[in-house]
Copies of this chain bind each other. A is one copy, B any other.
Amino acid sequence: MAPLNEDQLHAIRDERREQIIDAALGVFARRGPVLTKMSMIAAAAGISHGLLYHYFKSKDELFIALVREAMLGAGGGVEEMLGHPGTVIDKLRHFLHEAMSEEARLSFLLIHQARASEGVPEEAREIIKDYSMDWFASKLKPLFFEGQRTGEIAKDDADLLIAGLLTAMSGSMILHASDEKNIPLIHPDHLLRLVLAPEHVRPL
């Protein structure tokens, strides 16, 4: 019954924080900030709602922390993709598979919620503004230009291609995550067709 020592407390603290963040990501991503109730997060994390407030000052702060983390992941994903070996198509395919993977999807949805929902705290808006669709686009543009040079990418306006690709991807993920479970996720290789030059389109 000796009191826990400093390290043990620290360990508990970190573990709890992780629990909460995991739980909150799942709920916020699917429901958006307003429809997410603190009690849902507490239940998902297996703790009392009171305890949430020891780790995060408010719902807004928790949401902001999640958005911040998700943005790092998303930004990193793009960087990582650019370093992926292979052709432009290889890079893009890799990126799409990554972004739509089970683990990344929640972060993507969260960012969508932060972007599209009502009742998002101002600070969260600021964060995603820095990594907005424009930011993605600016990162992808050189890649698209190269793809157009090599003939892999369609010759249309690169901005439109990129925006189309990203919104179609996000949109499909959003719908797939909605309650109607029988809406399938669009296949990354199908998505790719939005931007491929015709001669590179392959059957699935």
Residues of A within 8 A of B (CB): 31-32, 34-35, 112, 115-119, 132-134, 154-157, 160-161, 163-164, 167-176, 178-180, 182-187, 190-191, 193-194, 196, 198-199, 201, 203-204
Contacts and interface: CB of A to CB of B under 8 A. Distances in A.
Contact of A164 (B35, B115, B170, B172): B172
A65 B204 CA distance: 41
A163 B191 contact: no
A164 B182 contact: no
B155 A203 contact: yes
Q: How many copies of the chain does the oligomer comprise?
A: 4
Contacts of A170: 171, 175
B174 A172 contact: no
A190 B132 contact: no
Contacts of A112: 175
B180 A168 contact: no
Nearest to A202: B198
A171 B160 contact: no
A190 B172 contact: no
